């Protein structure tokens, strides 16, 4: 019994130590965000600040070049909300089509969908930019948001997997009762796939919130910048060596991500485990 | 799945009427099906298929977005492999990043998943912590953090000093700098770990018990039971992670402040492509680069799938 206990203690020490090593950079950044900027690197080995400088957060919030960090957050939220609504609606519609309907050419389009899942996005980067430039969509959120309304292969696949677990007898019963396909989708299937839609919403939130390439390419005026762009501006003005404020806003940008993660971890873990994918 | 126009189940009904009725029904079913998947079909044509054709055409031209494209044949492709040392360097850096980073990440993920596949009550807690970096890893904030922990006085050098290793100039030595990106990639092993954990849970405990009765130790159990039964999951993960790694952009862009330095040490393929297209307006050249990447990733995926017959164990085929 005693040796069993010792084994478990050793296990927890090892696994716990690895967890600590992994988290250390994040803790270090959090602590550094309270340090006086010029002391951050001189005291990099001390975790706790000698004196707590909460003003890093207020200077950071004031932003760079006269644009407040609050505005970047608002801009990011706008993109996140529009994209998430768009991608959840369209992907569920498409997934229902693939999972529940039979039509000519379905295997072909399903294969195409699975291939786009593996397609390196770099291949369409240049032509998409050219197309958006011709449409005069540059310096707007349209190139980032509009494509989301046409579904995303990862989410379609995730939702198909989920819909397949719903018994088909349910469809038959509804059909006999005179329920059309769209009503079947909107009134029967949609309410049943809410957990999967939550997973879609969470991942869509993460990817849009953390996206940098889209904003770098398509947003030119600082009043449209997102959180990622705001942080990049801190980095670009690093010569001002306002590291404290930069770390403070980095922490602020991670807070919503962490909050969603801790609240919804069950959905996230299940979403990844059942599809076996992480886009 | 496929419709054959000759099948008709009800033999007693008048043939003509039945045929026209079922044809109508079939048409209706097809229209409904396409109505549902139409967002995908339209989106695929507009945002993927047509852009790919445009990209293929542009790869044979010189194009700067403002003047009309000029057809130059295969010049872009020839230049890439014979006249552009920076391109070849970015290929080298990307290969190190992908072929060191992905196997390390997967090995780490598998090792940790096996450790966590126990009955301890704390497993959920550890799983959460290990997975956290995967969730935040793609963000600008984490890349900024990574940039700073590798600075000369940063915590990575301090840790190395503790082990008796002198400071490494991560931002001065191009051969060292790529390992900032590799370590950042390995740090995010959590998502693969979750997938492996789900796979491990599906392996029945009886098999291990039977092996124990036969006197098999931990190492044979791993190679004869765990690895074969997990191999299809590993294959799929390897493919998706490799493709993802080839497209890595944010950390290279942030850590090097968009320059890919020192001396191209962090110039990942995507970053070089981005710079060619959007900083130097070489849209044709960037398109050619994109197609080489697509071909390479396609061939690599094909090889992985083809050889997988030899090393992936599919239970349904009765490999047992």
- Report ipTM for this prediction: 0.90
Specify whether the backbone of A65 is left (phi greater than 0), alpha (psi in -120 to 50) or beta. left
Tell me, yes or no, if A259 comes closer than 8 A to chain B by beta carbon.
no
Cβ within 8 Å of A, B 121-180: 122, 126-136, 138-142, 144-149, 151, 153-155, 158
CB contact under 8 A, A276 and B46: no
For residues B232 and B313, the answer to whether their CB atoms sit within 8 Å is: yes
Instruction: List CB contacts (< 8 A) between B126 and chain A.
Output: 15-16, 19
Architecture of domain B77-317: Orthogonal Bundle (1.10)
Say if domain A69-277 classifies as CATH 3.30.70.2610: no
A277 against A149, higher pLDDT:
A149
Task: Report the pLDDT value the prediction gives residue B8, as an integer from 0 to 100.
Answer: 43
pLDDT one-digit tens code per residue, B87-146 = 999 999 999 999 999 999 999 999 999 988 877 777 888 888 999 999 999 999 999 999
> Which tokens sit at A209?
């919130």
Q: Where are the domains of chain B?
A: 5-58, 77-317
**Smallest Cα–Cα separation from B295: which of B8, B56, B99, B38?**
B56
Q: Over 80: is that where the pLDDT of A277 sits? A: no
Percent of chain B with pLDDT over 90: 52
Tell me, yes or no, if A103 comes closer than 8 A to chain B by beta carbon.
yes
Q: Over 90: is that where the pLDDT of A62 sits? A: no
Task: Report the pLDDT value the prediction gives residue A279, as an integer from 0 to 100.
Answer: 39
In three-state secondary structure terms, B118 is coil
Q: Over 60: is that where the pLDDT of A278 sits? A: no
Instruction: List CB contacts (< 8 A) between A228 and chain B.
Output: 139-140
0.95 exceeded by the pTM?
no
Q: Over 60: is that where the pLDDT of B154 sits? A: yes
Q: Where are the domains of chain A?
A: 69-277
In three-state secondary structure terms, B213 is helix
List the end-to-end C-alpha distance of chain B, in Å, as a whole number: 31
Chain A residue nearest residue B246, CA to CA:
A120
């Amino acid at each position: 019994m005693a040796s069993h206990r010792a084994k478990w203690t050793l296990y927890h020490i090892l696994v716990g130590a690895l967890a600590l090593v992994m988290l250390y950079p994040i803790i270090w950044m959090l602590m550094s965000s309270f340090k006086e900027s010029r002391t951050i690197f001189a005291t990099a080995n001390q975790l706790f600040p000698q004196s707590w400088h909460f003003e890093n957060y207020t200077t950071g919030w004031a932003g760079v070049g006269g644009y407040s960090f609050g505005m970047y957050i608002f801009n990011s939220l706008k993109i996140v909300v529009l994209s998430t609504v768009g991608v959840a609606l369209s992907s569920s519609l498409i997934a229902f089509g693939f999972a529940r309907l039979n039509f000519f050419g379905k295997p072909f389009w399903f294969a195409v969908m699975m291939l786009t899942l593996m397609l390196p996005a770099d291949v369409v980067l240049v032509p998409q930019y050219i197309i958006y430039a011709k449409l005069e969509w540059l310096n707007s959120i349209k190139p980032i948001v509009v494509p989301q309304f046409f579904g995303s292969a990862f989410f379609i696949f995730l939702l198909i997997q989920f819909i397949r677990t719903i018994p088909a007898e349910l469809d038959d019963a509804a059909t006999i009762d005179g329920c059309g396909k769209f009503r079947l989708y909107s009134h029967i299937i949609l309410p049943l796939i809410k957990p999967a839609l939550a997973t879609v919403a969470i991942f869509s939130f993460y990817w849009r919130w953390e996206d940098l390439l889209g904003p770098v390419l398509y947003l030119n005026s600082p009043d449209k910048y997102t959180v990622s762009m705001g942080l990049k501006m801190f980095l670009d003005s690093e010569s001002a060596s306002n590291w404290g404020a930069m770390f403070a806003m980095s922490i602020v940008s991670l807070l919503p991500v962490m909050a969603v993660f801790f609240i919804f971890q069950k959905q996230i873990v299940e979403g990844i485990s059942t599809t076996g994918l992480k886009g | 799945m496929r419709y054959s126009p000759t099948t008709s189940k009800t033999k007693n009904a008048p043939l003509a009427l039945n045929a026209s009725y079922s044809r109508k029904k079939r048409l209706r079913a097809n229209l409904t099906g396409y109505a549902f998947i139409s967002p995908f079909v339209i989106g695929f044509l507009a945002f993927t298929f047509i852009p790919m054709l445009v990209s293929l055409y542009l790869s044979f031209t010189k194009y700067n977005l403002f003047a009309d494209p000029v057809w130059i044949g295969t010049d872009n492709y020839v230049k890439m492999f014979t006249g552009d040392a920076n391109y070849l360097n970015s290929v080298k850096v990307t290969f190190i990043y992908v072929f060191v980073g992905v196997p390390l990440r997967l090995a780490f993920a598998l090792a940790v998943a096996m450790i966590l596949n126990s009955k301890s009550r704390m497993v959920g807690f550890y799983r959460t912590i290990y997975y956290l970096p995967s969730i935040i890893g793609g963000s600008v904030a984490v890349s900024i953090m990574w940039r700073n922990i590798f600075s000369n006085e940063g915590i990575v050098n301090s840790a190395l000093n503790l082990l008796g290793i002198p400071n490494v100039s991560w931002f001065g030595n191009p051969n060292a700098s790529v390992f900032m990106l590799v370590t950042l990639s390995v740090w995010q092993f959590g998502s693969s770990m979750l997938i492996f954990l789900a796979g491990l849970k599906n392996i029945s405990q009886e098999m291990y018990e039977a092996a124990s009765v036969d006197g098999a130790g931990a190492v044979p159990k791993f190679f004869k039971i765990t690895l074969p039964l997990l191999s299809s999951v590993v294959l799929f993960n390897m493919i998706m992670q490799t493709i993802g790694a080839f497209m890595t952009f944010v950390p290279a862009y942030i850590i090097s402040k968009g320059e890919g330095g020192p001396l191209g040490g962090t110039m990942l393929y995507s970053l070089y492509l981005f710079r060619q297209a959007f900083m130097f307006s070489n849209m044709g050249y960037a398109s050619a680069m994109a197609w080489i990447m697509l071909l390479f990733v396609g061939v690599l995926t094909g090889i992985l799938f083809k050889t997988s017959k030899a090393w992936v164990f599919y239970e349904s085929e009765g490999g047992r």
